[in-house]
Amino acid sequence: MNRRVLGLAVVLGAALNLGGCSKSGTTTTRFLPNRVLAAQAVSSATLSGGLYFVNGANDTLASIPPLSGGQAPDLMALSPTRNIVAAFDGAPNSNTVFASDTTKDTSLGQGVHLAGTATSLIVPTSSPLAYAAVPSAVVSGYPVLGAVQVLDLSGGSVTSTIAVNKAETVVATGTGSQLLVFSNDSDAITVLTPGVALPGVDLSCYNPNNPPPNAVCAIIAGFNRPVNAILNGTTAYILNCGFECGGTQQATVQTLDLNSLSSGKPIIGPPVQVNGATYGALSGNKLYLAGNGTPTGQLCSTLKSAGTTAATYCGTLDIVDLPTMTDPYFNSPSTEIAIPDGYHDRMDMSINGHLFVGSHLCQNIGDVNNPNGEVRGCLAIYNTNTGTTVIPGDNGSVDGLQSFTTRDIEYVAEGGNLRVYDTTIDGLLINDFVPLGTIPVVGYVADVKAVDFF
């Protein structure tokens, strides 16, 4: 089976014994079974952005033409089978989604132009159909700003623009037939059935003659600034951001029975209070949640696990026990797990149980290029086996995380660099291939994803 990873866009792959791979940092063969993509954004007119291949076996750049991603790809999405990769180009005047068939490493269509900047992008099935949340989309003639756009990746067109005010994040159910849409400054979730949406502009969520719930749109109220959902079969764990996102209550997590959506009477579980909840990940019977809980986060000096740091505010990592739906870390400064602040929106578990948690716009301490004393950025690594946390000495926002099932390695796109972490030591991997622990991608690495399973 082919194994690839997409990113910044940088793609990684492991060379077969058909061509050489040297310790100079490049792989020369075209045949890469362990491919990783890195999304490379550049600001120079003499350089080209795109999705660049990385050899995921030895962490070197591959001498293979990149996949199309525009000049400044900053958001990537993979289909569940990884046969399709899509990337949003955020370059000025672009707002275009480019897609590729990863089984052939060829482009799908000529790109799809959106109505504005995409803040969320998904490819929920193996079909060339994608959905993008565009909070700035203008719906002419209506007091609505924001939409979910339906993208025909092969045809290069938007087939429907479903008006959803301030649509920020879109999450697909398991079959991809329904979408959970989260809007900024809202206490409700919009549920869309895009397969029956009207071509052009669909106003089903705002139709006075046939208001929701209708065939296309349903609106579920009763949440507290919901921002995302973590799906497990027919259960969605709704993350309520609460105070951190301008809400009036503490951050919580709630269950939503996806089977109940078709009845028109959604079944919602009671809210479980947590310290913060803007992003999460499931592992076994544990739900890991990250957030600040308030607009700033807690004072690091009040959290025992924060230790001695020059950082003023800290975020927290919570661990919800799913069988009992309880959070033993809530409101317990002596046991709360301190992590860097910022808006937490990246999380990934390594094969050996080390949870990487990343945020954007955190408080950076020190200078990784001229270290003198404490250096920290937006990354935390929590060892679920020992309960210990490491804050690596790096700077910048975390834009992408990628683990592997055959290597104790984590790729981290942080501060524009593509770092290689050895998860047995929770530090940078240093060897002849990556002597500085960094894959030398030119430009700003804005995401990283494996397009092969390895």
Residue 264: per-residue pLDDT:
85
- Is the pLDDT confidence value at 14 over 80? no
For residues 204-226, give the mean pLDDT: 96
CB atoms within 10 A of CB 29: 18
Local confidence band at 8 (pLDDT 50, 70, 90 cut-offs): very low
Is the confidence at residue 12, as pLDDT, over 60?
Answer: no
Give the pLDDT of residue 31: 59
Residue range 86-109, pLDDT digits in tens: 999 999 889 999 999 999 999 999
Higher pLDDT residue, 332 or 20? 332
What's the one-letter identity of residue 130? A
Q: What pLDDT score does 46 carry?
A: 55
Is pLDDT at 20 greater than 50 in this prediction?
A: no
Q: What is the pLDDT of residues 275-285, one digit of tens each?
A: 999 999 999 99
Structure tokens at 321: 């026990």
8 A C-beta contact, residue 359 and residue 314: no
| Mean pLDDT within 212-221 | 97
Two structure tokens written together for 361: 């716009």
pLDDT grade for 222, boundaries at 50, 70 and 90: very high
Non-local CB neighbours of 310 within 8 Å, separated by 6+ positions: 365, 366, 374
Q: What mean pLDDT comes out for the span 43-66? A: 85
**SS3 for 100-113, per residue?**
EECCCCEEEEEEEE
Task: List b or e across 168-189, with b for residues whose CB sees 16 or more CB atoms inside 10 angstroms.
Answer: bbbbbbeebebbbbbbbebeeb
pLDDT for res 1:
33
Q: What is the rounded average pLDDT for all residues in the chain?
A: 92
CB 123 within 8 A of CB 171: no
The dihedral built from the CA positions of residue 237, 227, 50 and 159, taken in this order, carries a sign that is positive
pLDDT-derived band of residue 64, with 50, 70 and 90 as boundaries? confident
Per-residue confidence band for 10, with pLDDT thresholds at 50, 70 and 90: very low
Of 34-48, 210-224, 299-313, the poorest mean pLDDT is in 34-48
Q: What percent of the chain has pLDDT over 70?
A: 92
Residues 6+ apart with CB under 8 A from 223: 187, 188, 189, 238, 240, 254
Report the candidate in 453, 346, 350 with the shortest Cα–Cα distance to residue 408: 350
Instruction: Tell me the sheet residues that pair with 390.
Output: 381
Q: 64, 62, 57, 66: which is closest to 26 by C-alpha?
A: 62
How many other C-beta atoms can be found within 10 angstroms of the C-beta atom of residue 17?
8
What gap in Å lies between CA 299 and CA 80, rounded to an integer?
40
Helices then strands, each counted (H, E), the chain: 0, 39
DSSP label at residue 271: P
The whole-number average pLDDT for the span 292-301 is 97
Res 19 pLDDT > 50: no
d(CA 29, CA 13): 10
How far apart CA 95 and CA 14 sit, in angstroms, is 32
Q: How far is CA 399 from the centre of its chain?
A: 8
- Burial status of residue 134 (CB atoms within 10 A of its CB: 0-12, 13-18, 19 or more): buried
Domains in the chain: ranges and CATH: 3-450 (2.130.10.10)
Asked whether the predicted pLDDT for residue 15 surpasses 60, the reply is no
What pLDDT is recorded for position 24? 39
Give the up-direction half-sphere exposure of residue 49: CA atoms within 13 A in the CB hemisphere: 29
**Where does the pLDDT of residue 140 fall: very low under 50, low under 70, confident under 90, or very high at 90 and above?**
confident
Minimal CA–CA distance to 21: which of 52, 56, 50? Answer: 56
pLDDT at 262 over 90: no
Looking at residue 305, its amino acid is S
Q: What is the pLDDT of residue 48?
A: 73
pLDDT in tens, 313-371: 999 999 999 999 999 999 999 999 999 999 999 999 999 999 999 999 999 999 999 99
Contact criterion met (CB below 8 Å) for 75 and 122 = no
In DSSP terms, 267 is beta-bridged to 257
What pLDDT is recorded for position 13?
A: 34
66-70, 71-75, 433-437 — which one is most confidently predicted on average? 433-437
Considering the chain, what percentage of its residues have pLDDT values greater than 90?
Answer: 85
Residues 6+ apart with CB under 8 A from 279: 228, 239, 289, 290, 291, 344, 345, 346, 347
Please compute the mean of the pLDDT values over residues 262-267 and round it to a whole number: 90
pTM: 0.93
Mean pLDDT of 30-39: 79
Closest CA to 51 of 28, 71, 34, 80: 71
pLDDT confidence band for 47 (50 / 70 / 90) = low
Q: Which residues of 310-334 are buried (b: 16+ CB within 10 A; e: fewer)?
A: ebebbbbbbbbebeebebebbeebe
pLDDT, average across residues 188-199? 98
Q: How much is the pLDDT for 26? A: 44
* Res. 121: pLDDT tops 90: yes
Q: At 274, phi and psi to the nearest 5?
A: -135, 170
The residue that leads in pLDDT, 22 or 255, is 255
- Radius of gyration, alpha carbons of the chain: 21
β-strands 10-12, 388-390 pairing: unpaired
